[in-house]
Copies of this chain bind each other. A is one copy, B any other.
Amino acid sequence: MIGIYGANGFIGRHLVRRLAAAGSSVRAVSRSYDKSFIEEFEGKVEFLEADLRQPIAMASSLQGVQTVVQLVSTSSPALKNDYAIADINENVLPHVEFLQNCVKAGIKRHVFLSSGGTVYGPGAPVPTPETYPTNPISSHGLTKLIVEKYIQMHGHVDGLEYIIMRLANPFGPGQKFRKGQGLIPAILDHYKRRLPVRIFGAGLALRDYIYIKDVVDAIEAVIQLSGAPQLILNIGSGEVRSVIEVINTIEGVTGYRFERDYLEARKTDVDISSLDISRARQILGWTPRTSFREGIEEAVFEVDV
């Protein structure tokens, strides 16, 4: 049985859909659910409502699970570093306790979605390989890195198999707009509501945007990977785009012209975040297959419907 934690999130919903379609035995765990999502899979997927901050519910959710896919994250890259204490309390501590429960429950494999855009910090080579030192400059990046370090500790001490996926910026249909949670859903939301787009700095910050289908391909490959892996893998599209390029592409697909508001650059933003994905290509036999424009078309299609 595969336990998907954070199953009702953007990635979680796509992943549950894929695994259920493939006939895998799936337990979806989330603190809450969209009703329509449950109805879609009634009978085919086991749904469990539990919060990562409820250690007893979490411990019992692990019964019969061999592989955990941990997608839960309450932190956000856009939150100020003033939230560092809250991030530790609400993100780090529940994850560490959950990990201990995974080890006690005899979980075989732990798949953790980390953040390729924030764990390395500024000054990293372009593209950044997994071996590069990790010095995050945001509380969000730090909480991801800290959880990674605890996973590696349990890997060494307890023999837990793990794959830490340092993910670029995923996008695609089903991604809900939440303030500070991704550029593309924000722009699509503003397109839908015909609002001006806000651009930090000159809009030249370069990021790797990966289409959700390619993300799910990678997670599926990681679940099926043979051997007893203990790995960190960058997962991205292998390309970068500026904020301006993203806006231009969406304008090109929709035919709409945005009004543009330029705001002051944020101190915790790195200028470029580009992941070297050659390790994942090689080990997983995986490659991103969706072009940026195709991905944007799919995302826009959902908005226009």
Interface readout for A126-150 with B: 1 if CB under 8 Å, 0 if not? 0000010101111100100110011
List chain B residues, Cβ under 8 A from A135.
Answer: 149, 152-153, 156
Give the nearest-CB partner of A96 in chain B: B84
- Taking the closest CB of chain B, its distance from the CB of A250, in whole angstroms, is 31
**Residues of A contacting B: mostly:** helix
C-alpha gap A94/B272 in the complex (Å):
33
Among B81, B131, B145, the residue within 8 A (CB) of A149 is B145
Contact of A238 with B by CB under 8 A: no
Query: Is A66's CB within 8 Å of the partner chain B?
Result: no
Size class of A's contact patch?
20 to 34
In the complex, the answer to whether B268 meets A157 with C-beta atoms within 8 Å is yes
A127 CB to nearest B CB, Å: 19
- The answer to whether residues A142 and B153 also contact, given A88-B92, A97-B85 and a CB cut-off of 8 A, is yes
Q: Does A267 contact B (CB under 8 A)?
A: yes
Is B121 a contact partner of A156 (Cβ separation < 8 A)? Answer: yes
Interface residues, chain A, with chain B CB atoms under 8 Å away = 81-82, 84-85, 88-89, 92-93, 96-97, 100, 121-122, 131, 133, 135-139, 142, 145-146, 149-150, 152-153, 156-157, 267-268
Q: Which 9 pairs show the lowest CB-CB distances between chains A and B?
A: A137-B156, A135-B152, A137-B153, A84-B96, A146-B146, A142-B149, A157-B267, A137-B157, A88-B93
